[in-house]
A and B are shown apart, each in its own frame.
Chain A
Amino acid sequence: MTSAPSVAAKPNTRLIFTALLRADFIVFLKNRRSLLLSILLPYFILVSTNSKKGTAGLGGSLFVIGLSITYGIASTSIMGYSLAVARDRERGVFQRLRVTPASTWAIMGSRLIVQVVANLIIALVVVILGGRVHHLSLSAGQYGLVLLVSILGGAMFLCIGQALVALIKSSETVNSTARLLYIGLILLALLGQGGSLGDTWGTVARWSPVGTVMTLFAGVLNLSAWNGREVESLLAAVGYVVVFAVVGIRWFQWEVR
């Protein structure tokens, strides 16, 4: 038990992170059905609003594409991520990982990187499909900006998911709360931004997490219209990231006692 030559004298951070990333990507690929669903639902929105009336009712093509991408990344980040973390915590998976030389930052960082990749895939696929369905031609720069916004939007939704698992211990409760929150946020943005709920709710919807990300997507898809509204949304999104990250890190517990 004391003479293995291949053991590193000091923990090798690169090896540790590579091992975690490899395992998390395997888990991600095994759950590809949920990734597919996160793309199919936005695709359904794109197709079902592919009429002048439907598109105009939702604020135009760019808003519809923004909404569709937001749907996709919010579902995988708020529901998928939080439930996976809550279940692994309940099963003792984190406990087992924490008694290895891996730092807590490496354990969580690896999962977040995989989730960011998932968000980028969703954003790219949906924006390509959206462009085709709504007959838009986007420049390479706009695709790049869409990916940047999906990183920011994904980070915001991941932080919301992290805050959920920090505040709620039971995976069942995390699951139901995440679903309710997801539906609530989407409906608020959809109905509020569409004007169906009146001015007050319209303002609430515009400043809601989904509303700010939708505005940003619409902004980068139509750069000529980029103005103070988009800048305010950008600042609001960064603010949401900071607030929910603080809650998610400060109150997160690695085990359920």
Chain B
Amino acid sequence: MDVRDLSVSYGTTKAVDKVSLHINSGEIFGLLGPNGAGKTSTLSAIEGLLKPDSGTVLVDGVDVQRHPAQAMSKMGVQLQATSFQAQLRIKQIVQLYAGLYGVQLSDRQITEGLNAIGLGHETLKLFKQLSGGQQQRLSLFIAVIHDPVLLLLDEPTSGLDPQSRRQLWSGIEHLRDQGGSILLTTHSMEEAQAVCDRVAIIDHGKVLATDAPDKLIEQHKDDPLVRQAARGAVTLEDVFIGLTGSEIRD
């Protein structure tokens, strides 16, 4: 995926300011930033939900603004707060989204797929009757149901217990190993360090630094602000605080 000079404004407020990103095949890329830094706006513009002021987003060579439907068919998306139609059962939700992505699945294939994520016995339940971890697993299953070349995950592990989080990480890494590109936003530096091959730190709509977590630590470990934030050995979180500041954002 290529994002070039992407800018998004809300009225006079510039939420994303000429952001450029490139994500390779078989790479997990993390977008890190404090609240209001422009992560979700960047992601929304990539997803085609927001019309950018300027810039282009190419997914597997397809321009998201010019050919949204074709671009969407190459993307899998897991939103921060996913919600499906409250009256639909799990199996019906899977059938709906398979149809939307042009994937024809038999009942047996749906059951096998749900079995693989541990939801084989929940096919007749409503989405709200699933636990948080089960909901996230189902959302991820639906996000990759059409075998996308790019997977976008907006804070995928927020609110999950450690077991569910680890399971989701394994799932994401498995997708990466199959050659997919993954862009995720997260507030968890532990998560970024554990699963991301590269990260970009974004604040006030601008990309401040992009590199592998270890390399970012190496590059910034001697910065005075990073040293000030460190409590022992320098971590990615210290680099993050050093670059974006320690004041609380709303």
Please list the residues of chain A having a beta carbon within 8 angstroms of any beta carbon in chain B. Answer: 1-4, 6-8, 10-12, 15-16, 18-20, 22-23, 26-27, 30-31, 88, 91-93, 95-103, 254-255
Contacts and interface: CB of A to CB of B under 8 A. Distances in A.
Nearest to B180: A1
A99 B70 CA distance: 11
A103 B71 CA distance: 12
Contacts of B8: none
A11 B69 contact: yes
Name which of A2, A6, A10, A96 has the most chain B CB atoms within 10 A of its CB. A96
B177 to A, nearest CB: 9
A31 B146 contact: no
Contact of B81 (A11, A30, A92): A92
B99 A11 contact: no
B83 A26 contact: no
Nearest to A10: B70
Contacts, number: 113
A6 B146 CA distance: 8
Contacts of A103: 69
Given A2-B147, A92-B82, A19 B92 contact: no
Given A11-B70, A11-B102, A101-B73, A96 B82 contact: yes
Given A12-B102, A27-B85, A19 B95 contact: yes
Contacts of A95: 49, 79, 83
Nearest to A91: B83
Contacts of B149: 1-2
11 contacts: A1-B148, A1-B180, A2-B25, A3-B147, A10-B73, A11-B73, A15-B102, A23-B95, A27-B85, A99-B75, A101-B70
Nearest to B93: A23
A11 B72 contact: yes
Contacts of B83: 91-93, 95-96
B99 A93 contact: no
B151 to A, nearest CB: 7
A133 B92 CA distance: 41
Give the interface SS of chain B, mostly helix, strand, loop or mixed: loop
Given A96-B82, A96-B84, A100-B97, 14 more contacts: A1-B151, A2-B179, A4-B103, A4-B146, A7-B146, A12-B102, A16-B100, A19-B100, A20-B100, A30-B87, A95-B49, A99-B72, A100-B101, A255-B49
Contact of B92 (A15, A16, A23, A99): A23
Contacts of B48: 98-99
B180 A102 contact: no
B70 A2 contact: no
B92 A26 contact: yes
B233 to A, nearest CB: 35
B180 to A, nearest CB: 3
B79 A99 contact: yes
Closest 10 CB pairs of A and B: A19-B99, A1-B180, A8-B102, A4-B147, A99-B77, A30-B87, A91-B83, A100-B100, A92-B83, A23-B96
Interface of B: 25, 47-49, 69-70, 72-73, 75, 77, 79, 81-88, 92, 95-104, 144, 146-149, 151, 175, 178-180
Contacts of B85: 23, 27, 88, 93
A65 B237 CA distance: 70
B197 to A, nearest CB: 15
Contact of A100 (B70, B72, B147): B72
Given A2-B178, A11-B70, A99 B49 contact: yes
Contacts of B81: 92
Contact of B102 (A16, A30, A96): A16
Contact of A1 (B70, B101, B104, B179): B179
A11 B73 CA distance: 7
Contact of B100 (A2, A27, A97): A97
B82 A27 contact: no
A111 B25 CA distance: 38
Contact of B98 (A19, A93, A101): A19
Name which of A98, A99, A102 has the most chain B CB atoms within 10 A of its CB. A99
Contact of B88 (A2, A27, A31): A27
B87 A27 contact: yes
Contacts of A23: 85, 88, 92, 95-96
Nearest to A5: B147
A191 B104 CA distance: 55
B99 A101 contact: no
Contact of B104 (A6, A93, A255): A6
